[in-house]
Structure formats: structure tokens, C-alpha cells
């Protein structure tokens, strides 16, 4: 293997990751639903030799769309249109194991992988937003443990579906008239605790065999799921120490399961405010903070974390007691992260809201291109990251600054590629193409 | 309204509609999974000013993939990539009301409509292939009446979802900080016999408001469904009289429901073998028939129609008794069509198989460009069609012949447009953009 180098994804959010991005003068909010805008963005990320573009997703409308561009672009359609505008960059779609049928999901990913020439990745989520339940006829959103239980079986099923055509099944012999060798196409006949699926899939095996398996939960269930199944993990950490703890833990878990830890990439989120001087970068960051709307952020805290701070004085301290009584909520990893910020930084309520406005708990860095590169290098070389999910505060300008100014520094330091060595997302990530598992 | 002109769709099937298309020397079977092949085809259809490209679909693998290219391209991903390669042509995806969740389907179509600038159409099917059931945890494929019962409620639900954002809901006022007027975004709170969906959708209303509603069943349930909901109907008829009966019946049903029959387009399938002389066209057709494999066609008859003819002598007559005992099967409309062919033409088993090899029961025409145009004109002017679903025997050559040789004749006769007058599929079809229904 050649020298270890960074992996960089562009995490795309309508408008950008800062909650006030759409209000910033550098953003064109009329283009938030314009596929051409996203195609152009994907082309720029490809020109910078990024590993992938990534779309989050959830099958419900956030309750804070009044104040921010929080609708949801549907990832499969959107990424298929980006595939048509690009040639190399990976395409990672978030899709829920709780609110989709495995046969339908398997088809969508197989097709995306076919039409993109092997560039599909699946960010496996169980859906955190409880309001999704009502869109699928459920009274209650299934609890965390139940969701992960289904997720494990779901991954088993779709893996079997993606392997249900052997690579050699497609014969296409015009002369003999054999199109496919049906002895190499297998029903999967899965009957488990939660799912029954017969198969086979109705598409030949795709260029990558299976999409790259990505996972983004950092809870106990999430870590154990990632160690077993994921090939890349998206994660949120505010401090080098937090990142190192997670990185070491995940790699150890993978090793304990007999996996090669190099085939499980850890990619924390990073949201960079870049200026030609540190002061300029700080001023830019402040300009965004001034555009935030407390009502929005308070709603986000309430929904994501169960924290109700709307009665608190914005310029007073975060009420400790209130925070402590809510500490057992749901998933937990993002909640703990917010508690850590409060402990470490003792912010006012307004400061906390600004702290989270950038990237919903992901790490925000502010500085010159060299300073941002330093931060990336430090995490990469000190056991906290194999690369990053880059979350520009606004699009496309916030990405252009990174691509034009930080990427060249990373390249000078030998940390990032100058072009693509391979054609598929697996090749970009240094992951093998899995053989189809034999039929049992 | 200007003079009535034809509507033409290109119905895309991997390789082409003739079952032996993939074996024909004019077909490149290595490109059956190559998105570039289909993008090129869509561009050609757009250059010919076709109304739409159309993809059939079903969530299972046909049992006859051994002998023909009968895998399934996933329509949403595939059409999104075609949208990126075209600007005007409509994009019609088949999707099942039986095997998808309404919230997921509503998002996929809304997104396809957004990213294509208002070119999406939905071919509403209930899925005829019973083997789909096993891919979705069911012991039995729901019976016809149950499927249509769910379909009616399903259409009601997704219509409400597509209307759940009023057109004015998107405010995007950077100054005031109001992104969306949440008073104009509505939960749908649907609670019916089979579905419960809260909403709202997580995307703003799309350019067309809703995709064009297309329907393809011609059974009693299918006709009554189409009369109530469809804006275009795909149908299979072998004779002018059969086409006229269907056309008159469907328009009358729509009128009886208070609908404008001009807003329900009837588009029969037509599969043309074109030659510079009639003899050349016939020779071409025979060349295809010689490539058929009886085993494949017998399997198709068994699966689609419940007809078991594999014990019959290929060059003997179709055993009448056998046919008559199977006459009550399932849907029925395609079955009746085959019975009519047997009655009318008294074919041998082999002749029947050849008769169906072209387009699975759709009408096959063989002749010079003028003769094909005559057939089209006759149906169009004698109350059997508002246009056609063109089903080329093979791709792309079978389409190129139609576009290059038949389309100019149709234009000379003033029957088909020379370019697009509008931008959306609704505009191509002469259909109004529906206002969002008020919240009840």
C-alpha cells in the first residue's frame, strides 16, 4: 500500500451547513432546488478529486423549515442526476432501514451503482426523527434498540440480494440464445425475525458488487453496528481527544470481530470558515452568527436533544439543572457532545446556539487555509481521522474556498491526492470489491 | 385549442420490445446496462420532439431471464440520469401502489419533477406479477380487487402529499428570515381503510404540482380506475375495432364522472417493423421471428396468461379446449386479447408465439414508413387513439427508423409537431397544471 492519504467527502446540505446559510449574501437561495446548482457543485468536488459527495436524508419534514432551508432533497434521484454530470466522484445516499422495504432499497442502490459505473455508497441509518412514524402508518417511532435490530437483519437481506446474481451470471451469448445463466442467479429465501424476502434481485450484480457501506451513528448500538458492517463512518467530534477515543474504540471493535481496521474509515465532520487572515475568518464566522435566528436553534435543540431552553435568558448561562435532567434521551451521542461543550466552554445560551448553528454539533474550524489544514493534519496524524466529511457553511462559496485554498496546502504536504487513481468509490476509499457470498 | 395532433412516447425496454431483440445483429447487448446508451436514446427521442420516454417496472425478476434481457432497470434512478441528459422530453416511471410506501413514492416523484423541471409522469400500476409478493414478506400476492382498492386510496394519499405545500409556501426572504410560510404547509392526516399518513411532504410543491397520472390496465377495474384518475392511458389493442371500443368506453366513463375527456389521452402500444418496401419490412420481421426461442414464449404465456402450451405440437393448431378452460384468469384484458387472436387468425402454436414475440400482445405493424404512418393516422382519426406508445422491436435502430422515416411523414400530414411548444410533460400533453387542493 502507498503512503496513507486523506479521504475527503463533500457533505451537501441545501444552502450549506450553517443554519443561516440561505440568508448569507453569498448564497443564491433561488437555486436551492435547481439540480444544475448541485451538478455544478459535484463537478467542482470532482475537479478537487474528492472521494464522494454525500446527502443526508430523512422521510419527514423538519419542524423548523420556517426559518431555514430544511426540506429534503431525495438522494437517489438527486444523486442519479449528479452521476450523469460527473465521471469519478463517489455518490453516497442516506437511506433508512426503518422506513424502506429492503427489496426496493436494494434495487435503488444497485441501479445507482450501475448507472454511475460503481460509485454508490449507502449511509445506513435507522432514522432518528420520530415524526417519520406518522408518515408510515405507525403510532410510535420504533425505539432505538428495535431500529438497530431491524437494521442488522436489513443489511443481511440486502447484502444477499446484491449477491443474488453471481458476477458470471450475465452470459449474453447471441448465438446460443442464453442471456443469463439462471444456475448462477439465486433466490435468497431469507426468513428472519423481522423480514422475509425471497429474491433474487431483478438486476445483474453491480460494478462494485455492493455499494460502500457507510454508517453515521456513534451511540453504543451505532458503534457496534459500524464495527460489524461499516466500511466508512461519519461521526461528530468537537475535540481531538474525543475523536481519538472514538477512532481507537471503533478500530479495536473491528479488529475484535476479525476485520482489517484499515477497511473501516473514520471520517469526522468538519465545517470550515476560511479567511486570508485569522481575523478575516473570525469576522466571516461572526457574520453568519449574526444571521442566526434563536427560535430556529431552540427548536433544533428541542427536537434533536430534548433540551428546552426557550424560557432561558439568551445572554445568561445555560441552566445546568435543566440539562442534567434530560441526560438519558434517545440515541445519546449527540446529546453527550452538547453537554461536553457546556462543561468545557461554559457558554451563555446564545453562545451555545451559535456553537451549534454551524453544523449541528459537528466541529467548526475558523482560520486561514494553513490553520484549517493544520487542524486536518493533526487529527489525521494523531489517530482521530482517516479523512473528513467537509461541511461547508454555505454553498458553493464555502466549498470553493476549501477546494481552492485548503486542498492545495494539503497536497503540498503530501496528505491528499492530486487526481483519482481508480474509477469506483471502493477504489477511492482503498476498499476491495467484495465477492458474492456463496449461496447457503 | 389548436388542431389536434398526435402524442408519441418512446416505451423503452432493455434491448427492445421484441423478445429476441438482444440477439439481433443490430443490437449491442453489451450496452444493455450502460446509462449512456439510454441517454443517447432519450436525446434522439427529444430531437424527434417525442412527448416522453416511458419505463415499465415490476419489483421481481421475470422467470424467463435465461432467454431474454428481462431484468428491470429501476425507473427513478434511470430517469433521473436521463433527465440530466435532456431538456424537454417527459419522463414516465412505472411504480407500484402495492409494493411501495406512499410517502417514499411521493418523494421520488416530487424530486424527479423538480430535477427535470416538470417532466415527470407516473404510470400507476398495482403489479401483476405474483412472484413480487415473496420479495415483500407476503405469502400471497393480493388479489386484483384488493390491489385496486389500495391503489385508489394510495392515489388519494400521494395527491394530498403533493398538494401539502401550497405553491406560495416557499417564501425565501433573506431579510426577514422567513424561509417557508408554515401556515401554507399542511399535515394531511390521512386515515383510511388501508393507509395512515400524516405528512406534510418534505419537499416544496414541484413544477407540475403533481406528476402526470398515467395508467395501463384495461380490465374492468383498470378502466374504472383510469376514468377516475388517469390523464393518459397506455393500452394494448390488435384491431381498430378493439381500439375504438376501448377509446369510446374510456372517454364515456370519464365524461360520466364529470371529467373533460380531452384530458384523458388514450395511447395504444405500437411496435413497428419498417422497411423501404413492404417485402423488406416483412423480411426484417421474419428475421426477428427466426431468432425467437419457443421455450421463452411458452414461459411468457404460462406466466402472463396461465396458458400451458408446452405439450402442444409447435406446428399444430392451438388446442381450443385448453384455452377455454383457462379463460377466467386474473386481470383478463391481455388474456382476452390473446383469445381474440386465436379466434381471428387460427394460428399454429408457433405462429401464435411469433405473434406475441413482438411486443407481448401489443400491436405489431410491418410496412413502409408510409404504411406505418397510415396505420397511425387511421387509428388517430377514427376514434381509437390520441397518440401512441411506440415500442421499437430493437434499440436503437428500431427507433431510429421510426424517427427518421415515419415521423417526417406524420409531420408532412400535419399530424405531429415539429418541436416542443412547452417545457413540461403536462404542456406536451395539453394538460393543465393542477392547483393544490385546499386542505379539508
Q: Any idea where the domains of chain A sit in the sequence?
A: 7-278+362-429
Strands (E), A374-440: 387-390
Q: Which architecture characterizes domain A7-278+362-429 according to CATH?
A: Alpha-Beta Barrel (3.20)
CA distance B88 to chain A (A): 15
Query: What are the φ/ψ torsions at residue B355 (nearest 5 degrees)?
Result: -60, -35
Reduced to 3 states (helix: H, G, I; strand: E, B; else coil), residue B55 is strand
Q: Is B57 helix (H, G, I), strand (E, B) or coil?
A: coil
Pairing of strands B387-390, A170-173: unpaired
**Secondary structure (3-state) at A67:** coil
Nearest to A338 by CA among A292, A380, A303: A303
Nearest to A179 among B68, B110, B180 (CB): B68
Lowest average pLDDT, out of A3-12, A295-304, A418-427, B68-77, goes to A295-304
pTM: 0.96
State residue A149's pLDDT score. Answer: 95
Q: Are strands B363-367 and B387-390 parallel, antiparallel or unpaired?
A: unpaired
Residues near B390 by beta carbon (within 8 Å), at least 6 away in sequence: B8, B9, B10, B11, B50, B270, B271, B272, B399, B402
Query: With contacts defined as CB-CB under 8 Å, which chain A residues touch B131?
Result: 198
Please tell me the distance from the alpha carbon of residue A98 to that of residue A41, in angstroms, as a whole number.
30
Q: So what's the ipTM on this one?
A: 0.96
Task: Please report residues of A whose CB lies closer than 8 A to that of B70.
Answer: 179
Say yes or no for a CB contact (<8 Å) between A114 and B33: yes
Instruction: Using DSSP, state whether B13 is helix, strand or coil.
Output: coil
CB contact under 8 A, A35 and B83: yes
Whether residue B218 is predicted with pLDDT greater than 90 in this model: the reply is no
Identify whether the C-beta of residue A264 lies closer than 8 Å to the C-beta of residue A230. yes
The CA distance from A407 to the nearest CA of chain B, in Å, is 29
Interface mutation target, options B74, B86, B206, B297, chain A, most CBs of A under 10 Å: B74
Chain segment A377-401, per-residue pLDDT in tens: 999 999 999 999 999 999 999 999 9
* pLDDT(B216) > 50: yes
Q: How confident is the model at residue B327 (pLDDT cuts 50, 70, 90)?
A: very low
Q: Which residues in A lie closer than 8 A to residue B65 (C-beta atoms)?
A: 179-180, 182, 185
Q: Is the pLDDT of residue A7 over 80?
A: yes
Per DSSP bridges, beta strands B178-180 and A232-235 are unpaired
Place A2 in a pLDDT band, splitting at 50, 70 and 90: low
pLDDT tens, residue by residue, A119-148: 999 999 999 888 999 999 999 999 999 999
Stated as kind and residue range, the H or E segment containing A96 is: strand A90-96
Q: If you average pLDDT over residues B90-103, what whole number do you get?
A: 98
In this structure, are residues A18 and A354 in contact, taking their beta carbons and an 8 Å threshold? Answer: no
A32, A195, A204 member nearest B137 (Cβ): A195
pLDDT of residue A323: 62
CATH architecture of B7-277+363-429: Alpha-Beta Barrel (3.20)
Res. A1 pLDDT band, cuts 50 70 90: very low
Euclidean distance between the first and the last CA atom of chain A, given in angstroms as a whole number: 34
pLDDT in tens, B409-422: 999 999 999 999 99
3-state DSSP call for residue B49?
Answer: coil
Q: Phi-psi bin for A106: left (phi > 0), alpha (psi -120 to 50), beta?
A: alpha
Could A203 and B114 be called an inter-chain contact, meaning their C-beta atoms sit closer than 8 Å?
Answer: no
What's the farthest any 2 CA atoms get from each other in chain B? 80
Indicate yes or no: CB of A73 within 8 angstroms of CB of B203.
Answer: yes
Distance CA B38, CA A267 (A): 36
Residues of A in contact with B85 (CB under 8 A): 84
Amino acid at each position: 500500500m502507498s503512503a496513507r492519504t486523506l479521504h475527503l467527502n463533500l457533505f451537501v446540505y441545501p444552502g450549506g451547513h450553517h443554519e443561516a446559510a440561505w440568508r448569507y449574501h453569498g448564497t443564491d437561495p433561488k437555486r436551492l432546488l435547481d439540480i444544475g446548482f448541485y451538478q455544478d457543485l459535484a463537478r467542482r468536488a470532482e475537479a478537487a478529486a474528492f472521494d464522494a459527495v454525500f446527502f443526508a436524508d430523512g422521510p419527514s419534514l423538519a419542524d423548523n423549515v420556517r426559518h431555514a432551508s430544511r426540506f429534503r432533497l431525495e438522494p437517489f434521484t438527486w444523486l442519479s442526476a449528479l452521476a450523469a454530470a460527473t465521471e469519478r466522484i463517489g455518490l453516497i445516499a442516506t437511506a433508512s432501514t426503518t422506513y424502506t422495504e429492503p427489496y426496493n432499497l436494494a434495487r435503488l442502490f444497485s441501479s445507482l451503482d450501475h448507472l454511475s459505473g460503481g460509485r454508490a455508497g449507502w449511509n445506513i441509518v435507522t432514522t432518528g426523527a420520530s415524526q417519520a412514524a406518522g408518515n408510515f402508518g405507525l403510532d410510535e417511532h420504533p425505539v432505538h434498540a428495535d431500529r438497530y435490530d431491524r437494521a442488522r437483519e436489513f443489511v443481511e437481506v440486502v447484502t444477499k440480494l446484491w449477491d443474488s446474481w453471481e458476477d458470471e451470471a450475465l452470459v449474453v451469448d447471441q448465438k446460443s440464445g442464453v442471456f443469463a445463466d439462471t444456475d448462477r442467479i439465486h433466490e435468497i429465501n431469507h426468513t428472519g425475525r423481522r423480514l422475509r424476502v425471497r429474491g433474487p434481485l431483478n438486476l445483474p450484480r453491480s460494478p462494485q458488487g455492493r455499494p460502500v457501506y457507510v454508517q453515521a451513528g456513534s451511540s453504543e448500538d451505532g458503534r457496534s453496528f459500524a464495527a460489524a458492517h461499516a466500511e466508512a463512518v461519519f461521526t461528530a467530534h468537537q475535540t481531538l481527544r474525543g475523536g481519538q477515543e472514538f477512532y481507537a474504540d471503533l478500530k479495536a471493535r473491528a479488529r475484535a470481530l476479525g476485520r482489517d481496521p484499515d477497511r473501516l474509515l473514520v471520517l469526522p465532520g468538519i465545517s470550515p470558515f476560511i479567511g486570508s487572515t485569522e481575523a478575516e475568518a473570525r469576522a466571516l464566522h461572526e457574520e453568519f452568527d449574526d444571521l442566526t435566528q434563536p427560535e430556529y436553534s431552540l427548536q433544533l435543540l428541542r427536537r434533536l436533544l430534548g433540551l428546552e431552553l426557550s424560557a432561558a435568558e439568551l445572554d445568561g448561562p445555560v441552566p445546568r439543572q435543566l440539562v442534567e435532567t434530560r441526560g438519558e434521551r434517545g440515541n445519546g451521542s449527540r446529546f453527550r457532545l452538547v453537554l461536553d461543550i457546556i462543561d468545557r466552554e461554559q457558554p451563555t445560551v446564545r453562545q451555545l446556539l451559535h456553537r451549534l448553528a454551524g453544523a449541528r454539533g459537528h466541529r467548526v474550524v475558523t482560520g486561514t487555509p494553513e490553520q484549517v489544514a493544520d487542524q486536518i493534519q493533526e487529527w489525521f496524524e494523531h489517530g482521530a481521522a482517516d479523512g473528513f466529511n467537509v461541511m461547508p457553511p454555505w454553498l458553493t462559496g464555502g466549498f470553493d474556498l476549501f477546494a481552492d485554498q485548503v486542498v492545495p496546502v494539503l497536497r503540498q504536504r503530501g496528505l491528499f491526492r492530486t487526481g483519482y487513481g481508480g474509477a469506483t468509490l471502493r477504489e477511492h476509499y482503498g476498499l476491495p470489491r467484495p465477492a458474492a457470498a456463496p449461496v447457503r
